[in-house]
Structure 1
Amino acid sequence: MIGRPDDNLRGYDDAQRTGGDRPLTGLLTELAQETTTLVRKEVELAKVEMSEKVNQATTGAISLAAGGMVAFAGLIFLLLALTYYLATLMEPWLAALIVGGVVTLIGIVLVSMGKSKLTARNLQPNRTLSSLQDDKDWAKAQMGR
């Protein structure tokens, strides 16, 4: 029995779709779908990584603040004791000036160290940027085929 003409063509199309010789429109459709999926995954990765970075920065800032407050209270008493001791060796105003100057220098060093840990470079989503570069290289290679 002879089938309808489109039955034969339908079988031919199915063979093309499952084999390596798919029509260009099918390949372009698949490329568009894969590109969309890839972009979604990259955006998802960027969101997760940025969330991790924000949490890391928040935790660091909270730790700095809490540690700073506790250390500050203890430091006041230690500085007071040092000032009292130096006041037995020299004028009290000079003892207070020396202790205040040293503490100020130490504070400047600590602030600069904390600031360097919160730079924009440390908060970049490095994994996402690397993955996007890999995707760009892959897309260029696919276009060259």
Structure 2
Amino acid sequence: MTVQSPHRPGGGANEPVGDLVQRASQQLSQLVRDEMRLAQAEMTEKGRRFGKGGGLFGGAGLMGVLTLQALAATVIAALSLTLDVWAAALIVTGVLAAVTALMAALGKRQVKKASPPTLQRTVDSVKADVAEIKERAQR
């Protein structure tokens, strides 16, 4: 059995069904490889951005801890003008513990709300490929 192929460079040449199936299989394999390369490139790009962002957040966190230590020492020194030093330190420690607990609870809630990262461009590309294949199959 042969099929007329309007898309083949030879124009109106008859093409055996086996050749068409073989070519479709090769094209589908190539399409899958291309989609995998796109997914890999997208994940590499996201990984680099996460790495840079994580490094910057880490540095900011360290500076924040140092700043908080200096601020705590300043507040303790200021409170010690009217209270004993141990009482001033205990008050500051209690306030810091409360802020820590609040931030941990808020952070936990945000992590639960976060959805897993998706490869949106790859997903969109695969959907477009499937739609194209379905459209051509219906012709």
Task: Report the TM-score, using the length of structure 1 for normalisation.
Answer: 0.69
Per the alignment, residue 126 of structure 1 pairs with 120
In terms of fraction of residues, the more strand-rich structure is: 2
| 1:22-55 Cα deviation digits (max 9, x unpaired) | 4233332332222122111101101111111111
> CA separation in 2, counterparts of 1:21 and 1:133?
32
Alpha carbon RMSD of aligned pairs, Å?
Answer: 3.1
Q: Give the residue type in structure 2 aligned to 1:112.
A: G
Per the alignment, residue 7 of structure 1 pairs with none
> CA separation in 1, counterparts of 2:133 and 2:40?
22
Percent identical residues: 27
Q: Does 1:19 align with 2:11?
A: yes
Secondary structure class of the residue paired with 2:81 = helix
Structure 2: gaps (5+ residues): none
Q: Does 1:38 align with 2:42?
A: no
In terms of fraction of residues, the more helix-rich structure is: 1
Q: Does 1:83 align with 2:76?
A: yes
Q: How many pairs are equivalent?
A: 128
| 1:54-87 Cα deviation digits (max 9, x unpaired) | 1122222211211111221222111100111122
Q: Does 1:101 align with 2:94?
A: yes
> CA separation in 2, counterparts of 1:48 and 1:62?
21
Secondary structure class of the residue paired with 2:30 = helix
Secondary structure class of the residue paired with 1:124 = coil
Q: Does 1:55 align with 2:48?
A: yes
Task: Report the TM-score, using the length of structure 2 for normalisation.
Answer: 0.71
Identify the match of residue 112 of structure 1 among 100, 107, 127. 107
Q: Give the residue type in structure 2 aligned to 1:127.
A: R
Contact kept? 1:83, 1:92, Cα under 8 Å? yes
